[in-house]
Amino acid sequence: MIRSVVRGNGAALPRRIMKNADFEGMVETSDEWIVQRTGIRQRHVAADDETTASLGEAAARAALDSAGMTPADIDLIILATSTPNNTFPATAVEIQNRLGMHHGFAFDMQAVCSGFVYAVATADLYIRGGLAKRVLVIGSETFSRILDWSDRSTCVLFGDGAGALVLEAEEGAGAITDRGVLAASLRSDGVHKDKLFVDGGPSTTGTVGHLRMEGREVFKHAVGMITDVIEATFGQAGITAEDLDWFVPHQANKRIIDASAKKLGIAEEKVVVTVDLHGNTSAASVPLALSVAVADGRIKKGDLVLLEAMGGGFTWGAVLLRW
Ligand SMILES: CC(C)(COP(=O)(O)OP(=O)(O)OC[C@H]1O[C@@H](n2cnc3c(N)ncnc32)[C@H](O)[C@@H]1OP(=O)(O)O)[C@@H](O)C(=O)NCCC(=O)NCCS
């Protein structure tokens, strides 16, 4: 059986760091409120010359380096983003060009904060279906461009950044001990559309729009949705929370992460938390968290890793893989 195995990973962050205290003169908020409600301490904010394409390219180059590959080795790029450089063409194609890659194909995937989990599951299907052998999966976002900087209930929560993985086809035994993607479960339900959305778009207002969110409503649904989809993934793979080495959740809010891990019975020391460093970087949050836990030596070859995300739509999903 063909498995999609991680060969390398990378990340890129804008130069500028914005601390919670930097908001204190802009909106009525405090470092204490932000830390207590969300766990966020700082986020990176893109300068004019830093875009979803440039950050995505930098993360892709880092992932290729760590895989010991060049763009010539890649046949597909999937970019998860909700903040593309242009309405079209796909920013994935722009990254393809920046990498000097003129073969293969590239496309964007839009599932908001769940984008990276959707993209890994999709890359796995392309690999197992024989349409690609080596796939660059990127999550890159510049949410700072779509924030309403006068709305304290949203502007303090998000940040910019990018992360990437290189996946490659490898023959596996079809067992849970195989390396690569082992199980995935994806969901969406548009009934929740108005709880987290951007109030603009090409076909409606003709503007880019700003992010709007009913934070309390999102919070209310998050833990149940996350734990349902993870239990479905555990069921597919025939494992329990105790078998996991690492839980790498979407980094939106520390309270949601803690409550989900607790409900699932995942030990605190197995949970990778980077929301304090990056804020919510939407589709970039899971690969950025992976990059931190790989760089500090926590995630190692052979470890069983659970990725999870939930976002606007709502969309939600989980991927289980052996690193
Ligand atoms: C946004 C969130 C942190 C707010 O925390 P909360 O405990 O639910 O707070 P509430 O929304 O109940 O607001 C409590 C009060 O804090 C205020 N408040 C909101 N943002 C604030 C800020 N940055 N600083 C200070 N006060 C703030 C609210 O106006 C409200 O005041 P009121 O009681 O006078 O109306 C929380 O709801 C959350 O994290 N939701 C999920 C968001 C998320 O993860 N989204 C992304 C999913 S991909």
pLDDT tens-place string over residues 220-244? 999 999 999 999 999 999 999 999 9
**Pocket of ligand 1 contains residue 153 by CB under 6 Å:** yes
Q: Whose CA is nearest to atom 48 of ligand 1?
A: 311
* Best CA proximity match to 162, nearest among 60, 245, 240: 60
User: What residue owns the CA closest to ligand 1's atom 8?
Assistant: 216
Buried b (16+ CB within 10 A) or exposed e, 235-265: eebebebeebebbbbbbbbbbbbbbbbeebe
Give yes or no for residue 81 CB within 6 A of ligand 1: no
Query: Atom 25 in ligand 1: which residue has the minimum CA distance?
Result: 29
Q: What is the DSSP string of 12-71?
A: E--SEEEEGGGGTTTSS--HHHHHHHH---EEEE--TT--HHHHHHHHHHHHHHHHT--G
pLDDT at 97: 98
Q: How far apart are CA 147 and CA 243, in angstroms?
A: 39
Ligand 1 centre distance from Cα of residue 129 (Å): 44
Contact between residue 41 and residue 20 where contact means Cβ atoms under 8 Å apart: yes
- Among 20, 28, 36, 37, residue to substitute to test ligand 1 (most atoms within 8 Å of Cβ): 37
* Atom 15 of ligand 1, nearest CA residue: 153
Which of 3.40.47.10, 3.30.1330.10, 3.40.50.300, 3.30.1330.40 is the CATH number of 180-322? 3.40.47.10
How much is the pLDDT for 63?
99
84 CB within 6 A, ligand 1: no
CA 125 centroid distance within chain: 18
Q: For residue 224, what pLDDT is reported?
A: 97
The answer to whether the CB of 151 is under 6 A from ligand 1 is no
C-alpha 38 to ligand 1 mean position (Å)? 9
Pick the residue whose CA is nearest to atom 40 on ligand 1.
Answer: 215
How is the chain split into domains, by residue range?
Answer: 2-171, 180-322
Low-confidence residues of the chain, pLDDT below 50? none
pLDDT, position 45 = 98
* Position 282, amino acid: S
Cβ of 214 closer than 6 Å to ligand 1, yes or no, is no
- Please give the distance, rounded to the nearest whole angstrom, from the Cα atom of residue 301 to the centre of ligand 1: 39
Question: How many angstroms does the Cα of residue 182 sit away from the middle of ligand 1?
Answer: 36
Q: Is 113 a catalytic residue?
A: yes
pLDDT at site 198 = 98
Candidate from 219, 221, 308 with most ligand 1 atoms within 8 A of CB, to mutate = 219
38 in contact with ligand 1, CB cutoff 6 A: yes
Q: Does domain 2-171 sit in CATH 3.40.47.10?
A: yes
Point out the catalytic residue in the list 113, 155, 210, 253.
Answer: 113
The CA radius of gyration of the chain, in Å to the nearest whole number, is 18
C-alpha angle 82/295/182, rounded to 5°?
Answer: 65
The alpha carbon of 35 and the centre of ligand 1 are apart by a number of angstroms equal to 12
Q: Decide whether any atom of ligand 1 lies within 6 Å of the 280 Cβ.
A: yes
